[in-house]
Amino acid sequence: MHMSDALLTPAVAGTMYAASAIAVGAAVTKIRKSPQSVKVAEAGVMGAFVFAAQMINFSIPGTGSSGHICGGMLLAAVLGPAAGFLTMAVVLLVQCLLFADGGILAYGANLWNMAFYGCMLGGGVIWPLMTKGELSRKKIFAASIVGNIVALQLGAFSVTLETLASGITKLPFSAFVLAMLPIHLAIGTVEGLITGAVLSFVYDTRPEMLEVNSAVSTSRFSRGAMLAIFTAAALAVGGLLSLAASSSPDGLEWSMEKVAGTSELESSGDLHSEAAAVQEKTALLPDYNLPDSESAGGNILSGVVGSLIVLAICCLACGALNLRRNRQPSVS
């Protein structure tokens, strides 16, 4: 799933760099709170382990072929999501520079597609949720399989969106998705089984290594973490998934076309004209795109801007409500 530079435009590559930089910053901030030397040593040596482990061929019974692990969720389960993410960042960088496996310009996208989903989502959200309470081999296998499948599916979907947003290929969105997702479902399942087998061995041999990271999960997410997760999800849905929105008419438009023969009724009257004039002036991104444009980039921009504006208004509104509540005298 390593993307080459040729598959991205500077705008898309820059956007993914910005997103990955935020994730790296968050991981480094978290690592700074732990003893520095522990995490640096882990990132360096474990990065070498991941590199070596990726070269091991695991025979897939019944297929005659073999697979190999990526290692993101494995690292996150053992080292924690932040240290695992930093380690994968180093591994991907060395792969990019040494083997040209993934471009320098595409490094931000590759980091997001492989390390972020694998370590932060798979290892940081799915693993703790599914291994809550007392660990068992069943929970380890289930969490490994689900986490790897989700991470690889999201990674493959992101590759599709990033390539289409760059306008590199003429392949239709549906064909592209149908080609990428099933293959990565199979890869994710195999990787999940291998990861589960390795973590089960670690659990049998040194259970404390996995229990440390699972125990952390019994505490609730902090408010800041929840805010960050939902903000990222909103930006991802509004900015990227909006490209997958159907262009078919919605229920109302479909009904109007059947009844009136048109999906837009002309309005008459001064009030309607004035309202339309105001809307024309204020609509910076008409029809969820740049003015007089139908580009994918405009779609993404409108989704991101819209999400951020809604977030800002909600924060301001909640802040104002809190302020008002704090000023009112409490009734005892």
Partner 1 sequence: MSPSPLENVIAAFHEIERVRPSGQPQGKIPPVARFAVTLTFLVTLVSFDKYDFPGVLGMTVYPLALALAEKIPVARGLRQLRHALLLVVLLGIANPFFDRAVAVRIGTVAISGGWLSFAVLFLKGVLALLAGWSLLRLTGVDGMARTFASLRFPPSFGFSILLMHRYLVIMAKETIRMRDAYTLRSGTRGSALKPSAWGPFAGLLLLRSIDRSNRVKDAMDLRGYSGAYRLPRPSDESTSAGWLYFVLWTGCFAAIRYCDPMLAIGKLALEIFK
Site for partner 1 in 74-93 (CB under 8 A): 74, 78, 86-87, 89-91, 93
CB of 196 to partner 1, least distance (A): 8
Residue 201 or 230 with smaller CB distance to partner 1: 201
Residue 193 or 290 with smaller CB distance to partner 1: 193
Nearest to 160 by CA among 195, 144, 141, 184: 184
Kindly state whether residue 156 participates in binding partner 1, applying the rule CB under 8 A. Answer: no
Calpha distance 191→150 (Å, rounded): 12
Instruction: Give the C-alpha distances (Å, rounded to integers) separating 266 from 65, 107, 269, 275.
Output: 63, 50, 10, 13
**Which of the residues 193 through 212 are near partner 1 (CB under 8 A)?**
193-194, 197-202, 205-206, 209
Calpha distance 298→242 (Å, rounded): 11
Q: Which residues sit opposite 66 in a β-bridge?
A: 59
Per-residue tokens: 93: 């960088």
Residue 83 or 130 with smaller CB distance to partner 1: 83
Calpha distance 292→141 (Å, rounded): 51
**Which of the residues 102 through 121 are near partner 1 (CB under 8 A)?**
102-105
Calpha distance 153→160 (Å, rounded): 11
Residue 8 or 125 with smaller CB distance to partner 1: 8
CB of 290 to partner 1, least distance (A): 19
Kindly state whether residue 26 participates in binding partner 1, applying the rule CB under 8 A. Answer: no
Kindly state whether residue 15 participates in binding partner 1, applying the rule CB under 8 A. Answer: no
Kindly state whether residue 42 participates in binding partner 1, applying the rule CB under 8 A. Answer: yes
Calpha distance 29→40 (Å, rounded): 13
Residue 193 or 308 with smaller CB distance to partner 1: 193
Calpha distance 244→282 (Å, rounded): 26
Given 18, 63, 133, 167, the residue binding partner 1 (CB under 8 A): 167
Kindly state whether residue 18 participates in binding partner 1, applying the rule CB under 8 A. Answer: no
| DSSP helix/strand/coil, 303 | helix
CB of 303 to partner 1, least distance (A): 23
